[in-house]
Structure formats: structure tokens, C-alpha cells
A and B are shown apart, each in its own frame.
Chain A
Amino acid sequence: AQTVTQSQPEMSVQEAETVTLSCTYDTSESNYYLFWYKQPPSRQMILVIRQEAYKQQNATENRFSVNFQKAAKSFSLKISDSQLGDTAMYFCAFIPGAGSYQLTFGKGTKLSVIP
């Protein structure tokens, strides 16, 4: 069974600064997919970024980027130039691929952006 661990229950960052959210996972799969989802107070779950395990290049989406370390089973999210709208719960999630669409989520990190 896969597990996803987010060790930081809460974090805060000043507006315009950079913050990194940590995530580790455990799996015996060799090819899988990792995601970061954002859930603002509205509760709508929004896909932030995706990483495919077979790709060595770290994914980037505008101000969001990941540091994917496959050997260490680590998948951190970096948010640059933090904005007030980034305030939300952030969930790291894992899918084994191979036709399975079952997401396994971490417990989440509550990020507060301070003006």
C-alpha cells in the first residue's frame, strides 16, 4: 500500500516571499504520478502541478515548481512570490498509474500568506 506523508501541518509566509512545502511517500511502484492539490476555504480542490515519476525534469507551473527526488521518495512544492490567494490547504497526492485512478492523499499543510 502507498502512503503519503506531509510533516508540516501549518506554515506561514510573507506576501511576495518563497515557501516550500514538504512531502514524502512510500511505494514499491517504479512508475507513478505525483500531484499537489490546493483547497482554499471555498473547499474546491484545485490541481496545482503534476509530476510523472519516469521524468527526471522537475515540473513547473508559473510560480509553482516541485523538487522531485525519486530515490529519496520526496516531492516538495515551492511557491515563489507568494500571493494572498495562495492561502489554502495543500495536499500532496499519489497515483500508482497502470490504469488505477485511486489517489492517495497526505494529511495536508495549511498555508497562510501574511500581508
Chain B
Amino acid sequence: KAGVTQTPRYLIKTRGQQVTLSCSPISGHRSVSWYQQTPGQGLQFLFEYFSETQRNKGNFPGRFSGRQFSNSRSEMNVSTLELGDSALYLCASSLTGTRSYEQYFGPGTRLTVT
């Protein structure tokens, strides 16, 4: 099976712009979660989607949003970019309906805001 894929892998944006990141989960996985990784704050949960519905959201401002499509692919959007949004954004997918709760991560999107 193919792993979790994320596009683009690298992105450079300027302050005030918006950005959309994409994530394709492992085939058959219906839960997709997003995480932000920075040197200062570490790994922080952004949100989780299942069957096109957001089930959980972390403590991030409303500039961070996401959605999930019927094929389980997910996108996250950050509007009005700030310098502090520079980070590695990781997507993870899970096979629901089991008791494993294992999450498998993609390679990440490195976002640099200048």
C-alpha cells in the first residue's frame, strides 16, 4: 500500500498571503489529522477529520482551517500568514473501527513565511 502523501513538500510564502496544503491518506483510512511542528512549540495538534466532518480541533486561531473530501483526501488552509506560521506541517491517517489508534504520518510540508 502507498503511504500518506503530502503536497507540496516545500513552500515559501510572504506575510499576509494564504496557503493550502494537501494530504492523501493511506487507502482505506478515513481519519486524517494535521499537526504543526516547530522548534519552540514541538508537535501540536491542529484538527482531525473523519467522513468529511471535523471531529476535533486544537488550540489554533481561526486562520487555520481544513476540510476533507469524500475520498478522504484532506486539505488545510492558513489565511493571512504570519512569520510564526513557519513550520513543518504533518498529516497522519488512521484506520478507524479498530482499537489500534495507530496514526501513520506523511513526509510533511515545510512552510516558510518571509
Chain B positions within 8 Å of A, measured between CB atoms, are 31, 33, 35, 42-43, 45, 48, 50, 55-56, 58, 88, 90, 92, 94, 96, 99-105, 107-108, 110
Interface segment, one of A17-25, A68-76, A79-87, A100-108:
A100-108
Which residues of chain A come closer than 8 Å to B100, judged between CB atoms?
A: 33, 50
* Between-chain CB contacts (< 8 Å), 30 pairs: A33-B100, A37-B105, A42-B107, A43-B110, A44-B107, A45-B92, A45-B105, A46-B105, A47-B102, A47-B103, A50-B101, A52-B99, A91-B43, A95-B101, A97-B99, A100-B48, A100-B55, A100-B56, A101-B48, A101-B55, A101-B56, A101-B103, A102-B56, A103-B33, A103-B35, A103-B45, A103-B92, A103-B103, A105-B42, A105-B43
Which 3 interchain pairs have the tightest Cβ spacing? A45-B105, A105-B43, A33-B101
Q: Using a CB-CB cutoff of 8 Å, which residues 30-52 of chain A contact chain B? A: 33, 35, 37, 42-47, 50, 52
- Report the bound CA distance from A46 to B105 in whole Å: 7
Bound Cα distance from A102 to B58, whole angstroms: 9
Q: Are B108 and A43 in contact (CB under 8 A)?
A: yes
Chain B residues with Cβ below 8 Å from A102 are 33, 45, 48, 56, 58
| Total A residues in contact with B, Cβ cutoff 8 Å | 24
- Chain A's closest residue to B56 (CB) is A102
Complex Cα distance, B103 from A37, in Å, reads 10
B42 shortest CB reach to chain A, Å: 5
